[in-house]
Amino acid sequence: MNRRAVAAIVRKDLMVVVRSKAVLLPLIIVPLLFLVLLPAMAALAPKLATLPGSSLAGMSTFIEQMPAGLRQTIEGLDESQTLVLLMIVYFMAPMYLILPLMVASVIAADSFAGEKERKTLEALLYTPTTDRELFLGKWLSAWLPALGVSLGGFFVYTLVANLSAWPVMGRVFFPNAMWLVLVLWVAPAVAALGLGVTALVSARVRGFQEAYQLGGVVVLPLVALVIGQVTGVMYFSIGLVWVLGIAVWSIDALLLWLSLKIFRRAGLIDRLG
């Protein structure tokens, strides 16, 4: 394995990514939105909810219908505390997964389809790298930043959540064990999912925008998770998160197998035309 060459591919892709507004902008705005704005709003929600004219009535029906496991976790909390806990710990959990997904997809779209569009791929194909090294380099250049952003984002989220909810909670309540599993086990898998789908899509499309938009379809299952939880169909228990991770990693393995089959020099250049 030619590590120096793989590292050079990663370095090149990242340098190229940070110099494109179209790529960099979503990488900055989305994390800000999810990690700072949303938790801050969630922590303020009880205040808004107790304003005259609104009520926590909807909440109480939700609480009555909620799964038993989840009800245990809110035992002994008042209504405001319950609301904050549900939002910051549970409702936000599936949304957090959008982060690694999006970062990986954007970078993969730029590094696979964008490179083809800019016609720089051909030069890369003439380097003394093997197909595997080329693929590994491309894969890492999307996966590593996705991990970085989701880890960094998690720390920021922890800070913002605890600080802004301090008046309501009066203690450090975040993260719990479920979140650790989510961040360390599920997020890397979801990053690989976004990247794998985008890489496959990139082989068929002409450019960055198209790849990014088509690859973005993977966000739909996450939206389903968000809805499933808000409507009380299921909740992010630690067991569910473990299983979710296993499921996503399995899909990843399938995608990887497919990609390795089609990621051949000859196949790539055939489509350069």
Ligand X SMILES: Nc1ncnc2c1ncn2[C@@H]1O[C@H](COP(=O)(O)OP(=O)(O)OP(=O)(O)O)[C@@H](O)[C@H]1O
76: contact with ligand X by CB under 6 A: no
Angle between helical axes of 208-215 and 98-108 (0-180°, round to 10): 150
Task: State the residue for tokens 């590590």.
Answer: 3
Instruction: Rank residues 88 and 134 by Cβ distance to ligand X and give the closer one.
Output: 134
Shortest approach of ligand X to residue 270 CB, angstroms?
4
270: contact with ligand X by CB under 6 A: yes
Q: Cα(218)–Cα(102) distance, rounded to whole angstroms? A: 9
Shortest approach of other proteins to residue 244 CB, angstroms?
37
User: Which DSSP letter does residue 207 get?
Assistant: S
Instruction: Rank residues 71 and 265 by Cβ distance to other proteins and give the closer one.
Output: 265
Instruction: Rank residues 110 and 252 by Cβ distance to other proteins and give the closer one.
Output: 110
Integer angstrom CA distances of residue 94 from 25, 37, 57, 128, 168: 22, 16, 25, 42, 23
273: contact with ligand X by CB under 6 A: yes
- The residue type of 250 is S
Count of residues that interact with other proteins, criterion CB under 8 A: 30
Count of residues that interact with ligand X, criterion CB under 6 A: 3
177 makes contact, choosing from ligand X, other proteins, none, with CB < 5 to 8 Å by partner type, with none
Q: What is the DSSP string of 31-71?
A: HHIIIIIHHHHHHHHHHHHTSTT--SHHHHHHHHHS-HHHH
Shortest approach of ligand X to residue 227 CB, angstroms?
44
122: contact with ligand X by CB under 6 A: no
Shortest approach of other proteins to residue 191 CB, angstroms?
23
265 makes contact, choosing from ligand X, other proteins, none, with CB < 5 to 8 Å by partner type, with other proteins
- Residues 3-42, interacting with other proteins (CB under 8 A): 4-5, 7-9, 11-12, 15-16, 19-20
119: contact with other proteins by CB under 8 A: yes
Cβ proximity of 134 and 9 under 8 Å: yes
> If DSSP codes are grouped into helix, strand and coil, which group holds residue 74?
coil
Q: What is the DSSP string of 116-151?
A: HHTT-HHHHHTSS--HHHHHHHHHHHHHHHHHHHHH
Q: Which residues bind ligand X (CB under 6 A)?
A: 270, 272-273
